[in-house]
Copies of this chain bind each other. A is one copy, B any other.
Amino acid sequence: METPLSKRLGIEHAIFGFTPFPAVAAAISRAGGMGVLGAVRYTAADELARGLDWMEAHTEGRPYGLDVVMPAKKVEGVTEADIEAMIPPGHRQFVQEVLAKHGVPELGPDDANGWRITGWMEQVARSQLDVAFDYPIRLLANALGSPPADVVERAHRHGIPVAALAGSARHARHHQDAGIDIVVAQGYEAGGHTGEITSMVLVPEVVRAVDPLPVLAAGGIGTGEQAAAGFALGAQGVWLGSVWLTTAEAELPSPVLIDKLLAAGSGDTVRSRALTGKPARQLRTEWTDAWEDPAGPGPLPMPLQGLLVADAITRIQRYEVTPLLGTPVGQIVGQMNERLTVQAVFDELTSGFEQAIDRINRIAGRS
């Protein structure tokens, strides 16, 4: 899978794998794709440095990237405590009620809060970038709007192309205006933050909107035939996130969660504001149901919701409270039915791609 973009980035296959786990990102890069490490779980700069040191030691000199979550809108001088103070008491009470209903224990004094809002804040993302630019990262992706102009400039000074996720042609054009180099067209079926337009419609729409910028197809892609479909729609690469969650290398916090992912069907996700305040596709759980319940208070806007639920999510994960336990994941979760190595996923991507091309060449009367 070679495109002008993959050649420019020095990768063998135009497959971009987003993951919060260094072991997965490094394995994707070693397999010939672009492993893109999510920085949001690193709340301290030295933690991120350790993660990137590890990447350096395990990628055999292959290119890898970093994904940050940097809001487009700058909020000057606002601390986490300021945001905490904006959360209505009724919402805090609702969280405690849901947890109490399921008998979720409190965290012990030594339990770290694993799921943090802080990675969402611009200050944190900036301190992450201070670290990241000391490493030879080959791609900087932003999962939340266009990064600020100075960040784009700084990346470009380091020779690092910048990618940004878009859920509509309008978002994509905004990225183009902001100097972004690569647009990730993320369809409705994708895990995490998504818009309403599906990959089948969104990818060609974005390709046309930002021509000649290269576009990656994201959402609904986990197999070689789905990658072939993404390329047929005009993408110069495919961006996969969900499919790595159940790989052998993924360090998910809970075996129960892995079992839930392996058992889930394509209809077992929901696009919900329960996790961050913006619509994000995730496993449907009694937690997401509670936030959809018309009798409840409903989710707060970003970033309040993320801060409100951070402790609760940590407790649910720590104690593996099955009915509440979820994770962002796309509709392809229905295809994720066994634990495979990253290399095995990659082998299927390349062989399934070849088979899909054989098939459509036959349909076109070319074989």
Chain A positions within 8 Å of B, measured between CB atoms, are: 1-3, 14, 168-169, 187-189, 195-202, 204-205, 219-221, 223, 225-226, 228-234, 265-267, 294, 330-332, 334-335, 353-354, 356-357, 359-361, 363-366
Contacts and interface: CB of A to CB of B under 8 A. Distances in A.
A2 B364 CA distance: 7
B205 A198 contact: no
A250 to B, nearest CB: 21
A319 to B, nearest CB: 30
Nearest to A331: B201
A364 B357 contact: yes
Stoichiometry, copies per complex: 2
Given A200-B187, A225-B233, A357 B361 contact: yes
B231 A360 contact: yes
B233 A331 contact: no
B205 A229 contact: no
A228 B3 contact: no
Contacts of A2: 363, 365
Contacts of A334: 169, 201, 205
B363 A3 contact: yes
Nearest to A221: B200
Contacts of A228: 229, 232, 360
Nearest to A227: B232
B196 A267 contact: yes
A363 B353 CA distance: 10
A332 B2 CA distance: 28
25 contacts: A2-B363, A14-B363, A187-B198, A188-B188, A196-B267, A197-B266, A197-B331, A198-B198, A200-B220, A200-B226, A200-B229, A201-B226, A201-B334, A204-B225, A204-B226, A205-B266, A205-B334, A232-B356, A232-B360, A233-B356, A234-B356, A357-B360, A357-B364, A357-B366, A361-B361
